[in-house]
C-alpha cells in the first residue's frame, strides 16, 4: 500500500491520541479516530462515540466531569495520555482512567442511598475518611453519584453506571427537581419566602432561587430546587443572616427517599429510575407513561432492559 492510499483514519489517529498536535487542514474535516480502524468492521466514523461520551456511557463520569478529566490528563487511549475530548473511540481502542480500564457497560445499575451526615459524595478525595460510595456493596460495578450532598447534609443520593441518566439528572438545562426538608435557626418571614422564590438572592456572583418553599412548622420548610448549585440552600440562608440547622433531601424528581433507613442502600427498578426524571415528587409509583414530555427524553426502562 502506498503512502497516498493509507487509510485517513489511521493517519489522523497517530496525531490525535496525544491531544497535543493538530491535524493538517487536509485532514481536519473527518472525525479524529483514536485507533487504526482499517481492519475493523465497516462503521462510519460519525457513528463512533467521542471520548467524552465513551467515558460517560461507560459510567466512569458524567459528561461534564468526563471532559474535565480528559483535559486534566487523567485519561489514556491505547497507552498514551489523551487530552482531546473529541477523539473518536473505535471498538478496539483501550481506554483507561487513572490507570484503570474503562469498558462499555453491559448492564445499567441504579442505586438509592440514604446518606448520613458526615459522609462526602466525592470518590476522588483520598483523604476523606467517610465516603458515601463506601456504604454501597456492589463489587465490580463502577458507580458515579448523580449530583452531591455536602458533608453536613443527609438524605437521598443516587448512583449509577449510566452516564446518560446521570447527565439527565444533573445538567442544569434539564431542571430536574430536588426536594429538601430544611430546618432553620429562626423562622422565615413571608417576605423572605417571597424573595427566595421570585427574584432570589445574590451570593458569590450567583443568583440563588427556589422553585417553591412550603412551611411545615415555624423554622421547618420544604424547599424544591430546579438547579443544584453548590450548597445552595445553606447559602440562601446565609444571605438572609440565617443558618441551616438541618438539611435532608427527600426526593429527586418523582422518586422519594421513603422509609429507607439511614446508611442503607437499595437498587432501583427501571421504572423507579425513570421516576427520578419526572417532575412530580408525589410518590414512588410509576405513572402510566414511561417517558417525559420533553423531546429527546429516553425511555430508561426499555434502555435498561436492552442492556441486560
150 part of the active site? yes
Work out the percent of the chain whose per-residue pLDDT is above 90.
52
Q: How much is the average pLDDT of 131-139?
A: 93
Strands of 80-81's sheet, edge to edge? 80-81, 75-77, 95-97, 100-102
Query: Domain tally for the chain?
Result: 3
List of residues 6+ apart from 139 with CB closer than 8 A: none
Specify whether 163 is located in the same domain as 212: no
pLDDT in tens, 146-182: 988 999 999 999 999 888 898 889 888 888 999 999 9
Q: How many CA atoms lie within 13 A of 204 on its CB side?
A: 9
Is 134 in the same domain as 153?
Answer: yes
Same domain, 148 and 7: no
For residues 166 and 267, state if they share a domain: yes
Same-domain pairing of 75 and 25: yes
One domain for residues 57 and 203? no
pLDDT band at residue 28 under the 50/70/90 scheme: very low
The whole-angstrom separation of Cα 15 and Cα 6 is 15
Residue 226 sits in a domain whose CATH number is 3.30.70.1560
Of 81, 102, 123, the position where a domain reaches its end is: 102
Q: Are residues 15 and 94 in the same domain?
A: yes
Same domain, 154 and 216: no
Identified catalytic residue from 98, 150, 192, 283: 150
Helix, strand or coil, per DSSP, at residue 32: coil
Do the Cβ atoms of 35 and 93 come closer than 8 Å? yes
Cβ-defined contacts of 5-10 (< 8 Å, 24+): 7/36, 7/37, 7/38, 9/33, 9/36, 9/37, 9/38, 9/45, 10/36, 10/37, 10/38
Residues 169 and 266 both lie in one domain = yes
Q: Mean pLDDT over residues 247-260, rounded?
A: 96
User: Which domain range does residue 135 map to?
Assistant: 110-173+254-286+295-306
Amino acid at each position: 500500500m502506498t503512502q497516498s492510499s493509507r487509510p485517513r483514519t489511521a493517519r489522523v489517529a497517530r496525531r490525535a491520541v496525544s491531544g497535543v498536535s493538530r491535524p493538517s487542514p487536509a485532514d481536519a474535516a473527518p472525525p479524529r479516530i483514536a485507533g487504526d480502524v482499517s481492519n475493523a468492521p465497516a462503521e462510519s466514523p460519525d457513528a463512533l462515540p467521542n471520548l467524552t461520551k465513551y467515558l460517560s456511557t461507560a459510567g466512569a463520569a458524567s459528561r461534564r466531569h468526563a471532559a474535565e478529566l480528559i483535559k486534566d490528563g487523567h485519561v489514556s487511549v491505547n497507552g498514551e495520555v489523551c487530552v482531546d475530548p473529541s477523539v473518536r473511540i473505535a471498538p478496539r481502542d483501550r481506554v483507561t482512567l487513572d490507570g484503570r480500564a474503562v469498558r462499555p457497560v453491559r448492564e445499567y445499575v441504579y442505586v438509592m442511598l440514604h446518606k448520613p451526615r458526615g459522609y462526602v459524595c466525592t470518590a476522588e478525595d483520598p483523604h476523606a475518611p467517610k465516603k458515601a460510595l463506601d456504604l454501597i456493596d456492589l463489587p465490580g460495578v463502577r458507580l458515579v453519584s448523580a449530583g452531591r450532598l455536602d458533608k453536613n447534609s443527609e438524605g437521598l443520593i443516587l448512583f449509577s453506571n449510566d452516564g446518560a441518566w446521570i447527565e439527565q439528572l444533573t445538567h442544569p438545562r434539564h431542571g430536574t427537581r430536588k426536594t429538601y426538608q430544611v430546618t432553620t435557626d429562626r423562622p422565615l418571614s413571608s417576605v423572605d419566602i417571597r424573595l427566595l422564590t421570585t427574584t432570589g438572592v445574590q451570593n458569590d456572583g450567583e443568583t440563588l432561587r427556589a422553585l417553591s418553599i412550603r412551611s411545615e412548622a415555624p423554622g421547618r420548610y420544604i424547599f424544591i430546587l430546579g438547579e443544584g448549585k453548590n450548597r445552595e440552600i445553606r447559602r440562601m440562608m446565609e444571605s438572609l443572616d440565617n443558618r441551616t440547622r438541618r438539611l435532608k433531601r427527600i426526593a429527586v424528581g418523582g422518586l422519594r427517599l421513603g422509609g429507607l433507613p439511614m446508611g442503607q442502600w437499595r437498587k432501583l427498578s427501571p421504572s423507579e429510575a425513570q421516576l427520578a426524571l419526572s417532575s412530580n415528587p408525589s410518590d414512588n409509583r410509576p405513572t402510566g407513561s414511561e417517558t417525559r414530555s420533553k423531546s429527546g427524553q429516553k425511555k430508561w426502562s426499555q434502555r435498561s432492559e436492552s442492556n441486560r
